[in-house]
Chains A and B, each alone.
Chain A
Amino acid sequence: MGKNLFQKVWDDHVVRQLDSGQYQVFMALHLIHEVTSPQAFGMLKDKGLSVAFPGRTFATVDHIIPTDNQSRPLKDDMAEKMLQVLSDATAEHGIEFFAPESGSQGIVHVVGPEKGLTQPGMTICCGDSHTATHGAFGCIALGIGTSQVRDVLASQTLAMDPLKVRRIRVEGELGMGVTAKDVILHIIRILGVNGGVGYAYEYAGSVIDAMSMEERMTVCNMSIEGGARCGYINPDETTFEFLKGRDRVPQGADFDAACEKWRAYASDADAEYDDEVVIDAKDIKPTVTWGVTPAQAISIEEIVPSPEKAEGLDKNLITDALDYMKLQADAPIKGTKIDVAFIGSCTNGRLSDFQAVAKVIAGRTVADNVRAIAVPGSEQVDRDARAEGLDKVFEAAGFEWRKPGCSMCLAMNPDKLVGDEVCASSSNRNFIGRQGSPTGRTILMSPIMVAASAIEGSVADAREVFGLQEDAA
């Protein structure tokens, strides 16, 4: 019987089994940022420990960084302090820091892949739940807490339980205007926010095979929203093509040798899985959330669910979510007025996201009542987008083109919702208060759906707004 990728990577990186029954697992790559990691350096100091493998940890700043003016000192004293603590700690311990305006700064899950730090067959961890993003390259990529950041700094290892693996096969072909974001929102809708507890998700099938690396990252990014500890996709030619020539990737003959090694990590054809789910691409429509968890999602063609028609506990969840969102049960989600449109985040803040939107918004304008911002995921994305003139296309349509950072994905920098504003957002979480106002409301969707909604001033179907037709073949 063959092995799946999770088992292969796990077996390679296990140092030993611990008495508790957990395993000690070596971490090939450790990424840190300013919110969850500076405290860990304090913990090390308290214990008189140093960093074991400083060359395997990389730092960036993303959550607190303003997207308008990034010059130092940052206007917010506490943000400046967090940045300074991270900058000092990385300097002291010999850890490479992708500082603001270094040309390499960005959201941690955008920077790792674009620099080629993320490579197939690695174990990767970061004090951030969206670390699952890196699984797109065929990695076990785990979000961890600060005490575990301390453990990795001190030992480059984690104490872990093994995971079960569920293969999710998405088969068929996506319709026009249906994107990777819709695929993952659909999966979470079906399997629920805690359907993945105890599992790693392996995404497979013809739809996943056909995706670009950036689309695969969007899918893996939201694994945690489905409760899975991580999500991954087997490495293939698309993966190698993406990595070729990148900064930290072996070059020339070494690259070919690396590809051989990476290829071997892919799940064997006769690998066993603990569970399998098959999804028909035909069932996936442009999907948007109506509630306060990412599983509270419907297609743009559907009506908002009603508590009356739900069973048991669901009823309260639906009632509470509708109260918070101020939405009517049984009413279409399409047409819900929005105040803010946000395109960015580690889910959908990569070059291809801005390219896809630029292609459809050229010549159109954002509705008067909508504040629209586009925030590249990294300085590299910003540079590439500008080189293609994408920033100008967005600006001409009425978007503000910002500097890189997490921005309005969460409320740790000046980009925030005000009062009970409704935001059409390409980010990954629609939790209560997530976007900075305790009463703010988030509707998750794909970047082109955000753009369509921005133009209409209300939740809209990108296929209609942009006239995306199926080929009449």
Chain B
Amino acid sequence: MSIAKVAGRGVYVPGNDIDTDRIIPARFLKCVTFDELGPSLFFDERFDGDGNSKGHPLDEDKYAGAEILISDDNFGCGSSREHAPQAIQKFGLKAVIAGSFAEIFHGNCTTLGIPCVVMDEQSRSKLAEQVQSNPNEALILDLEGEQIIFANEIYPMSMKASAREAFLAATYDPLDNLLSARDQIQDTAQKLGYA
């Protein structure tokens, strides 16, 4: 299924360099499937040692049910753990807006069908402010038009071209496409002496 638009309410989690250890602490990587990861998203940022809420945006009533995460620069840096985007998706978030993304994280999100949208600092802080004061209003990420619509205002955004292309063409999960070249893969392997 192609992903041309994502609509949903936003939640702003501020901070630069939010690494995947923060998105999903390592102890939650002890699992053999990704199914149960949703509740562990940002766990140590959300709860203290006794499990009491620290008042993280994800736990604020006004953002309950938000589907689009907004953050700042270099989001998702650190480890390659797909547990991070998996936890984001299982938590119920459908897209991430940030100033920039770490590459492996970006790639993992794309394969899972989570658009990573880049927004410059000025529009991002304006959008974050608007979302904070109108948490019930839905954002619309228009991947085709490369714009974000919120409360009748249009915000500029950008996406990595190949990712945008893949969302629109429904090829963001590349596996079937990769497998369609079995003969060519075999040829390459032979040429290189790997088969």
Contacts and interface: CB of A to CB of B under 8 A. Distances in A.
A15 B184 contact: yes
Given A15-B184, A82-B30, A145-B111, 7 more contacts: A36-B80, A64-B30, A143-B79, A147-B173, A193-B77, A412-B29, A436-B27
A406 B65 CA distance: 38
B106 to A, nearest CB: 9
Interface stretch (A148-156, A205-213, A269-277, A334-342): A148-156
Interface in B139-183: 160-162, 165-166, 169, 171, 173-175, 177-179, 181-182
B26 interface: yes
A452 to B, nearest CB: 27
Interface band, chain A: 35 or more
A227 interface: yes
A324 B80 CA distance: 24
A128 B32 contact: no
Given A39-B34, A293-B17, A151 B175 contact: yes
10 contacts: A15-B185, A26-B192, A78-B30, A129-B79, A155-B175, A157-B178, A157-B185, A227-B103, A412-B27, A436-B27
B132 interface: no
A159 B103 contact: no
A82 B33 CA distance: 10
Interface stretch (A17-25, A360-368, A370-378, A379-387): A17-25
Contacts of A35: 29, 81
Nearest to A47: B175
B25 A438 contact: yes
B136 interface: no
A246 interface: no
B184 A16 contact: yes
A194 to B, nearest CB: 4
Interface string B71-83: 0011001111111
Contacts of B182: 155
B31 interface: yes
Interface of B: 15-17, 19, 21-22, 25-27, 29-34, 44, 49, 73-74, 77-83, 85-86, 100, 102-104, 107-108, 111-112, 160-162, 165-166, 169, 171, 173-175, 177-179, 181-182, 184-185, 188-189, 192, 194-195
Identify which of A22, A28, A42, A320 gathers the most chain B CB atoms within 10 Å of its CB.
A22
Contacts of B74: 193-194, 197, 227
Interface stretch (A300-308, A394-402, A426-434): A426-434
A39 B90 CA distance: 15
Given A197-B100, A293-B17, A434-B21, A429 B78 contact: yes
What are the nearest 7 A-B pairs in CB distance? A145-B108, A145-B82, A146-B82, A143-B80, A159-B174, A438-B44, A129-B80
Contact of A193 (B17, B21, B29, B179): B17
Contacts of B17: 193-194, 293, 317
Interface in A14-52: 14-16, 18-22, 24, 26, 28, 35-36, 38-39, 42, 47, 49, 52
B172 to A, nearest CB: 9
B194 A53 contact: yes
B26 A28 contact: no
A52 B182 CA distance: 9
A127 interface: yes
A175 interface: no
Nearest to B187: A15
Contacts of B22: 431-433
Contacts of A327: none
B33 A39 contact: yes
A204 interface: no
A320 to B, nearest CB: 8
A256 interface: no
A93 to B, nearest CB: 16
B179 A155 contact: yes
A431 B76 CA distance: 12
A458 B188 CA distance: 54
A2 to B, nearest CB: 21
A44 to B, nearest CB: 10
A26 B193 CA distance: 12
Interface in A312-337: 313, 317, 320
Given A15-B185, A155-B178, A194-B77, A411 B25 contact: yes
B156 to A, nearest CB: 20
A144 B110 CA distance: 12
B195 A53 contact: yes
